Structure 1
């Protein structure tokens, strides 16, 4: 997309900077956590499931993802690691001049504050521990782009903040406990979403080596990365056996639709191997994540 058709700091520029295609990664863990909580809430007398808390959890996750995207856009540009000429991924707002750096700084401050304001009422539902959870989300949102992604910690953070934390905390806010089923489901969710980071870093492996960014892909090499990508989807579906053991058979079976799509994306990833065309695999992986979230949730709710 040419930068000549994007007016600087326009609504369109901000929509592109927010990267709407990435928001499924924020929404899916919350969706799974809510589905588990809604299902288990039926065991209790009265209406213990709060739709207000559910909406706050979803909104907090989405705003934090937008915040993370803004932070990534700004700091990668500031560090000089977002060269428009060599970049293989989707174009970035600051690099293309769609959004000025001063405007992006203000946007980061605004979205960070907005996320905190949205999350504050969750103290009423989940207790004071929600303050600690919120602070962790904000701090690591900055640390990921500024430091941790450069030392191969990105995948660990995805597992934590796109799996364990959002699924378990969303469930905890509703029922004030976390079951084994919920924890296993949270890890499986994190593995599924990590596939998005894996294919992103697989595409950028040569540029990352040049820039001194030691991602997991750079550490283990492209051959093992290809099988890691496939293995993440397989492991997540096998971990879904916890649903089967808890009499939620559909929640185990339906995600194999996701696994089929994941397998075909893996074949395409190996065939393309390198270059900008891998963005097709990135888009398909985002789609697959959404399919995973929807099939798990449908399997839990369609009893």
Structure 2
């Protein structure tokens, strides 16, 4: 009888930082793809659209106009949500192929874990960006504000180059600024503009407020990964200013929105109810200030996302009613 070969197959080698192959690993199911869309971040897309709508519907005539043209805020919401989901998948892909996610301590990502092929994750991100562009184009055609095409193109470029490209700006500490601009100023003011053809003082106060909360979400996320990002050579703002600086910055960013509420309270009495959102914001600040484990900071991240949603919907309602 022939003797069975005992020759061992050489180990499969892959370049440093490359994601593991999906073959031989458990493929991501529906739950995995939903998780990769990062539902915790979606309030950052919903809140500015609600605030931008509420800021230009402060009287009955304007509110009636919004009611008659309801598709405008709906399309604006579609743009914001698709951009947010798209950037989440783009980050999954870019960080995964770059090898950065090998160091992360948060939930695993599709690309880095090998649960999905990098190309598949990239295609999903591109599809989300394309759908956002279609919804944005529909808004431009309906409103005839053609210059908004440039804003939309800038938003998609910012979404991709956050972690994509040769020199992603998220790796240089500019992520919080981009989030403040695009998920605060641009999303809120853009919503007001496509609905009413103008912006109001309320629009800009709300834009600054929600932009601060959106930036705070990124701060606590990067604070959680500060050591891992430092090891991976990812110089986020938290890596640059350190853990203590990040905790202080988080507290400041979470305080600004309630200063805005205090000012708007002079003109909109129902805005006082928005102070109830402090029941979510204060624990988030305390946990971020004292938390040392990833689990604690993930809880703070969730509370901050909930703060954004409830703050956005609550203040929008206060402006309208």
What's the TM-score, normalizing by structure 1?
Answer: 0.90
Deviation at 1:276, TM superposition (A): 3.9
Alignment RMSD: 2.2
Greater alpha carbon shift after TM alignment, 132-141 vs 289-298:
289-298
For 2:61 and 2:247, the matched residues in 1 are separated by 43
Q: For the Cα contact (< 8 Å) 2:66–2:195, is it kept in 1?
A: yes
Deviation per CA, 1:39-67: give whole Å up to 9, x if none: 25x34597365201111001111111110
Question: Of 234, 243, 253, which residue of structure 1 is paired with 2:264?
Answer: 243
In the aligned structure 1, how far is the partner of 2:66 from the partner of 2:211? 27
- Give aligned pairs, total: 294
Contact 1:126-1:172 within 8 A present in 2 as well? no
Gaps of 5+ in 1: none
Pair 1:144-2:162 in alignment:
yes
Match of 2:211 in 1: 190
Task: Name 1:28's counterpart in structure 2.
Answer: 47
Q: Report the Cα offset of residue 96 of structure 1.
A: 2.0
1:216 aligns with 2:246: no
Q: Tell which deviates more after alignment, 208-217 or 61-70.
A: 208-217
Q: Structure 1 residues 45 and 23, CA, compared in 2 at 3 Å: closer, same or farther?
A: closer
1:13 aligns with 2:32: yes
Which aligned runs of 4 or more in structure 1 are off by greater than 4 angstroms? 43-46
How far did 1:176 drift? Answer: 0.8
Which digits, 9 at most, give the CA deviation of each residue in 1:154-179, with x for residues without a partner?
11111101100000010001111112
Within a 5 Å distance, the mapping from 1:1-303 to structure 2 comes to: 8=27, 10-40=29-59, 42-43=60-61, 47=65, 50-83=69-102, 86-123=103-140, 124-125=142-143, 127-146=145-164, 147-245=168-266, 247-251=267-271, 253-302=272-321
Check conservation: 1:70, 1:107, Cα contact below 8 A: yes
* Shift in alpha-carbon separation, 1:243–1:99, aligned structure 2, 3 A: same
CA 1:96–1:301: 2 relative to 1, 3 Å: same
Question: Under a length normalisation based on structure 2, what TM-score does the superposition of the two structures give?
Answer: 0.85
What are the ranges of 5 or more consecutive residues in structure 2 without an aligned counterpart? 1-21
- Measured in 2, the distance between the counterparts of 1:125 and 1:242 equals 32
Judge which range, 152-161 or 276-285, deviates more: 276-285
Distance, in Å, in 1 between the alignment partners of 2:240 and 2:49 is 31
The 3 A distance-change label for structure 1 pair 46 and 255 is closer
Deviates more, 1:134-143 or 1:209-218: 209-218
Per-residue CA shift, 1:49-96, capped at 9, x if unaligned? Answer: 52011110011111111100110000000110011xx42112111122
C-alpha offsets along residues 126-167 of structure 1, whole Å, 9 cap, x if unaligned? 510221111011111111122111111111111101100000
Shift in CA distance, 218/9, structure 1 to aligned 2, threshold 3 Å: closer
C-alpha separation in 2, matches of 1:210 and 1:126: 48
SS of the residue corresponding to residue 65 of structure 1 reads helix
For 2:134 and 2:26, the matched residues in 1 are separated by 30
CA displacement at 1:194 relative to structure 2: 1.2
